[in-house]
Amino acid sequence: MTMRLVTRYVPAVLFLAALIVAWDIAVRAFDLQPYLLPGPGRVWHAFLEVRGTLPGHIRTTMTEALLGLGIACVLGAGIAALLAGFAPVRRVVYPLLVVSQNVPMIVMAPLIVVWFGFGIMPKALVVALICFFPIVVSTTDGLLRADRELVDLARSFGASRLQVLRTILVPSAVPSFFAGLQISATYAVLGAVIAEWVGASSGLGLFISRSQTAFRVDRVFVAVAVIAAVSILLFALVHLAARAAMPWQYAHGQNPEESR
């Protein structure tokens, strides 16, 4: 177990450490000014300066991200069930979903804030709009890839559409659902930050905006590092949820991604 964890994560940690060292060397070699590119040491000092205020911003952004991700899960799963169960609906709605992803969220976010105000709900809606598409696509694909012979057998025994969905289609789509959810989890924090740029009283997006206004690039790097760490944490939580929901996929320490 320990060796497997070391093999999986140590190379990434070493590569990250090498990038930080190269970053520090480049800043020193080219004598870059802090307002252009601060060194790792200056970023660390900036973190120490703002470490007392960061928890409140992180808590706000995480609340928005988790709420939006929850909304995306409900909407994504519901729409996926509708698309997989009714081919005419799929032919009409699916292309519209694809087209909707070409609308920049940085354009929609101000409108959502105008429509719903400056509270937590518009930020959660922005996150939901960003996150629900991977869930819809992955879950729909999982539902459509269910064993058709098993579906036909269930229907031959008189199973209703809802029973087929509950007993056959949904279990077969669980891995695909979590695959989409993991992708969405990496976008959730970013979506919350984008929404906070438009208007907020707290959050990492507001922290970045204020840091940019004050030309504190070192604090912007602090926020970027925190966003990356929080996104990794959220991804890990979804991964743990997937392990709990699909223990058979990870039996004997087997990772389904590694078996492909």
User: Is 172 a domain residue?
Assistant: yes
pLDDT at residue 111, as a whole number: 84
Residue 51 CA, chain-centre distance (Å), reads: 24
What is the C-alpha end-to-end distance of the chain, expressed in Å? 20
Q: Using 50, 70 and 90 to split pLDDT, how confident is the model at 60?
A: very high
For residue 167, is it within any domain? yes
Two structure tokens written together for 34: 């802090």
Q: Over pLDDT 90: what percentage of the chain? A: 40
- pLDDT score for 184: 92
Q: Show Cβ contacts of residue 135 under 8 Å, excluding neighbours closer than 6 positions.
A: 72, 73, 75, 76, 77, 80, 177, 180, 181, 184
Under 8 Å between Cβ of 192 and 65: yes
Q: Does 49 map to a domain?
A: no
Res 235 pLDDT > 60: yes
Burial of residue 63 (number of CB atoms within 10 Å: 0-12, 13-18, 19+): middle
**75 located within any domain:** yes
In a domain, 178, yes or no: yes
Q: Which of 102, 101, 98, 118 is nearest to 110 (CA)?
A: 118
Q: Which of 62, 27, 22, 35 is nearest to 220 (CA)?
A: 35
φ and ψ of 103, to 5 deg: -85, 115
pLDDT at 260: 45
Note down the domain range covering 157.
60-248
CATH label of the domain that carries residue 207: 1.10.3720.10
Q: Confirm whether 29 is domain-assigned.
A: no
Q: Is residue 121 part of a domain?
A: yes
pLDDT in tens, 142-179: 888 888 788 788 888 787 777 877 788 888 888 899 99
Q: How many domains does the chain have?
A: 1
Task: Give the confidence band of 134 by pLDDT, cuts at 50, 70, 90.
Answer: very high
Q: Where are the alpha helices (DSSP H) in 51-167?
A: 54-85, 87-100, 105-116, 120-144, 148-156, 161-164
Per the domain annotation, does 148 fall within a domain? yes
Average confidence score pLDDT of the chain? 85
Q: What is the pLDDT of residue 71?
A: 94
